[in-house]
Amino acid sequence: MLYVSIAFFLLHFACPDVGVPTLQAKPTSVSLADYQPVADGTTDDTPALLACFRAVGEAGGGVITIPPGDYFYAGTESIPLCSDLTVFAYGARFHLPKTLGDRARIRMFSGQNISRFSWLGGEFCGNCFDPARQDNSWEPNVDTRILEITTSPEGKTSDLLFRDIRSDGVAGGVVFVTGASKPNSESETITFAERVSVKDCVLLRTGPFMWDYGYLWQQIIWPEDYEPWEVERAYRYFRNDLIRENIVIANGDDRVQLENEKKPISKTVCFFGDTLPKNVVRGRQYFVVESTSTHVKISESPDGPVLKFDGEAGAKTKLIYDVFQAFHHLFAPIGWGRGKGAVDLESCSGVNMSGCQLSAAGDTMHIRRCENVVFSGNQILGSRMGAFFIAEFCKNVTVTGNTVDGTNGSRVMSVEKSTEDITIIGNTFRNGGRGSWINQPKNLVLKGNVFIDNTTKGEKDPRRGRRDFRTGGWEAYPEVYFTLHQPDGKYGPVIVSDNIFQPGESCSPQAMTFAPNGTHIHVRNNICIGEERQINIASDCSDVIVEGNKGLVIP
């Protein structure tokens, strides 16, 4: 009876507008132990889990207790979730298979149109791919969602609570909730999942694995900087169809001679693998300005003069074509499924995420197309890619009191695609790789935060830095940069005030940059520690005020 009483309290607390009568007068209360799981950590306990959850679902909901112990889930069938359900899993550990094969997809617990649902406690253990290890039992594109709740266009999802959940090495979202919307469409009607809370969870090395931009490309072009097994692995997972061999470049010629009839090259190329002409930079992107069945001609810019070669290329020279694809589009493994982060919330309204600790071998967390969001008091402990992610058309977002460590990942903070009415106040962002990216916002306040060395991808170190495909040199980013996602897009008002910036040596000369078409851009009373940096605001931005910034100048 203790668990039942607690369940009533938690459900009422999670859903204050839903009274006790929403539950049955005599709610079903069962223990997984009643269904005789083996619980030795190696024998498949899927049959017991299925029987238990189906029984409660058929009864219209209730309380499930999963006793402490080690449970093995083979991943052959999803276990159904239902509405009016509370699960207590304190002390329970769920082990996923050691091997899953290529392009594996697991949905451990799943349900659609779920309301008044709580999951409390439990730990989920997997084997997410780790590029620092030579041997891995899971492939890079394995995707293992744990608690997946979706919404049909005519359905309803509401009042969800996820608390005290732990995970380690899970290659997918432990908490995955989505309303109903069409991907990549801005204007359609969204059926929101309503009132979603994620509290006090510890989700480590959790989320789909991601390579990061240019990771495989760099190892292939500069193999001398890496161990042989790393280079061999890079070729195994790279788009090898983008590589061409048997290249002939003669001194004084302006042609790159190769077999170019079956798959003509038409965009960009870069060269590697052997000695190159003196005026060709290894890894640098060149633009194809002429393409025939036997050769291509290249230029340093899309409309520039044809390059005439100063010297010849060695016999083992290779090229990669469509360099943007090879660099940017291979940030995730081929065959990778949809979804990002340990917590992945899409099209949700009334989101509250607090008191969590997260780290990931990809993006750490993803809140996309959500409204009325509070993200507070969380710790992000490391990310292979994006650390903090508010993605695409979110509205009314408060981000406060968080500590975010990018651990040399990609962007330490991303606020993507026309997010509106967002305040980011009193947070610490440190050790990110590519600064903080804010993409065409409306009504943004960035105030009282600390930014420490978030451009480490510019370090001239092959283990931490990343080469720039546009130049063949090293990347360089500002601490914060505002961009557009539409050619004629507009953004603002924007307030950036009272922040502390402590850039690292690899930061670009600019600490902050602002794209064109901004309005009401107010940058006040920020402090930059160390070398003086610039604030670069496009000339056509209007109602611009820049004042009282120490260590920051307008060029």
**Amino acid sitting at position 251:** N
- HEC assignment per residue over 399-436: EECCEEECCCCCCCEEECCCCEEEEEECCEEECCCCCE
Name which of 188, 205, 152, 160 is nearest 380 in CA terms.
205
pLDDT of residue 189: 78
* Alpha carbon distance 446, 497 (integer Å): 6
Q: Has residue 146 been placed in a domain?
A: no
Residue 187: predicted pLDDT: 52
The widest CA-to-CA distance across the chain, in whole angstroms, is 89
Q: What pLDDT does residue 188 have?
A: 65
Q: Is residue 396 part of a domain?
A: no
Contact 163, 120 (CB under 8 A): yes
191 within 8 A of 151, measured Cβ to Cβ: yes
pLDDT of residue 22: 41
Q: Residues 57-97: pLDDT tens digits? A: 999 999 999 999 999 999 999 999 999 999 999 999 999 99
Q: Is 252 a member of any domain?
A: yes
Report the SS3 class of residue 480: strand
Is residue 296 domain-resident?
yes
Q: Residue 335: what pLDDT?
A: 83
Instruction: Report yes or no: 386 and 405 within 8 Å, Cβ to Cβ.
Output: no
Q: Are 408 and 433 in contact (CB under 8 A)?
A: yes
Torsion-angle region of residue 412: left (phi > 0), alpha (psi -120 to 50) or beta? alpha
Do 210 and 361 touch, CB atoms closer than 8 A? Answer: yes
Residues 91, 95: Cα–Cα separation, whole Å: 13
pTM of the shown model: 0.92
The low-confidence residues of the chain, meaning pLDDT below 50, are 1-25
State residue 183's pLDDT score: 55
Q: Which residue spans within 132-192 are E strands per DSSP?
A: 143-150, 158-163, 166-168, 175-178
Residue 539 lies in a domain: no
Residue type, 71: Y
Structural domain span for residue 220: 215-328
- Residues 453 and 409: beta-carbon distance below 8 Å: no
Give how many domains the chain has, as a whole number.
1
Tell whether 261 is covered by a domain: yes
User: How are beta strands 123-125 and 92-95 bridged, if at all?
Assistant: parallel
195 belongs to a structural domain: no
In this predicted model, what pLDDT tens digit does every residue of 27-63 receive, in sequence order? Answer: 589 999 999 999 999 999 999 999 999 999 999 999 9
Domain-located, residue 244:
yes
CB 476 within 8 A of CB 506: yes
